[in-house]
Amino acid sequence: MSLIKFTNKGIYCPRAEVYIDPLKKVDRALITHGHSDHARRGHKRYLCTHASKPILRHRLGKIDCDSIEYHESLNINGVNFSFHPSGHIIGSAQIRAEYKGEIWVVSGDYKVAADGFTEPFEPVKCHHFITESTFGLPIYKWDDPAITANQLNEWWALNQANNKVSIILAYALGKAQRIIHDLDPSIGSIYTDSAVEGINSVIRNHGIPIKATTLFTPDINKKSLVGNIMVATPSIMNADWVDQLIPYDTAAASGWMMLNNTRKRRNVDQAFVISDHADWKGLLSAIQATEAENVYVTHGYTDFFTKYLRESGWNARVVTT
């Protein structure tokens, strides 16, 4: 019996009777991180890292959730499980499963370059490695995080010099906190929308500091935003008060901003290539560091990436979960 199986409910460990990031309702779910395509509603019991737990509670409401420290080992029906930083967002983990010397690692989503905010990615040696391939094409190549942080602050300072409001659109969990970490508060004040501020509060309450932010509410004097920056989810662009912030400059931050058509589609003034996933080289270096002989490729450019791995000598295959 294989220690890990790919089923229509998701990645399954039959011996321990647990699923990892299950797609459908199950009795026991081990969760790599709080993004909604990994932490779904409706499972009977959840297990995640201590830092993920308040995020899961914030997003999923009342759930039966246990949590574990990074590197701590938990034995479930003879299988040893442990969680290791994946560098993706706060609390995110790769999940390691070991039984009688056979080791599997489910990496969830990961980013190899340290961003100074998220617990940095740690390679975990294993025989079987399950990897994402969101940016599994050679065209995806990220700049050093310090360079993109400078670009962000230069854009903000330029808008300030032109008496504009800066609005940067980002996903509420993960990307928003990373951007706030990158911003230089000596330039001005950082405002947030309610979705971003909700996650900020959860993370701060867990004891992880985030730079000072002010929740923007429509009753705030719009003039007070001139020269300052708002980190918000894209939906705020549909709010009726957003026109009152004119003149403003908008930006988006994502790995997809490498693609010209994505830049156009997002309809923003400025695009920053900032991702919480590994780029092409990051994926390859992570896989190499695991020393795994078997690689299973999930969401992303699975076919291309798997073909490349096979041609480079790995026993790789695409898995659909």
Look at the block and give the residue holding tokens 């590994």.
Answer: 278
Interface stretch with Zn ion, choices 30-38, 113-121, 202-210, 267-275 (CB under 5 A): 30-38
DSSP 27: S
Tell me the number of residues near Zn ion by CB under 5 A. 2
Judged by CB under 5 A, the stretch of 62-70, 102-110, 132-140, 261-269 that binds Zn ion is 102-110
Nearer to Zn ion, 39 or 190 (CB): 39
Torsion over CA: 73, 12, 286, 151 (sign): negative
Residue numbers 221-280 binding Zn ion by CB under 5 A: none
Amino acid letter, residue 24 = K
**Which of 10, 26, 29, 35 is in the footprint of Zn ion by CB under 5 A?**
35
127 Cβ partners below 8 Å, 6+ apart? Answer: 102, 103, 104, 292, 293, 294
The token pair at 89 is 């967002």
Would you say 103 or 105 has its CB closer to Zn ion? 105
109 near Zn ion, judged by CB under 5 A: yes
**227 bridge partner residues:** none
Tokens at 273, concatenated: 């290539």
We find the least distance from the C-beta atom of residue 134 to Zn ion, in angstroms, to be: 9
Q: Nearer Cβ to Zn ion, position 35 or 128?
A: 35
Min CB(254)–Zn ion separation in Å: 13
| Least distance CB 62 / Zn ion (angstroms) | 23
Segment contacting Zn ion by CB under 5 A, of 7-15, 27-35, 120-128, 222-230: 27-35
- How many whole angstroms from its chain centre is CA 284? 18
Contacts of residue 315, Cβ cutoff 8 Å, sequence gap at least 6:
293, 294, 295
Q: Which is nearer to Zn ion, 118 or 306 (CB)?
A: 118
Question: What is the distance of C-alpha 167 from the center of its chain?
Answer: 21
Tokens at 177, concatenated: 């906190």
Cβ nearer to Zn ion, comparing 60 with 165: 60
Closer to Zn ion by CB, 136 or 227: give it.
Answer: 136
Binding site for Zn ion (CB under 5 A): 35, 109
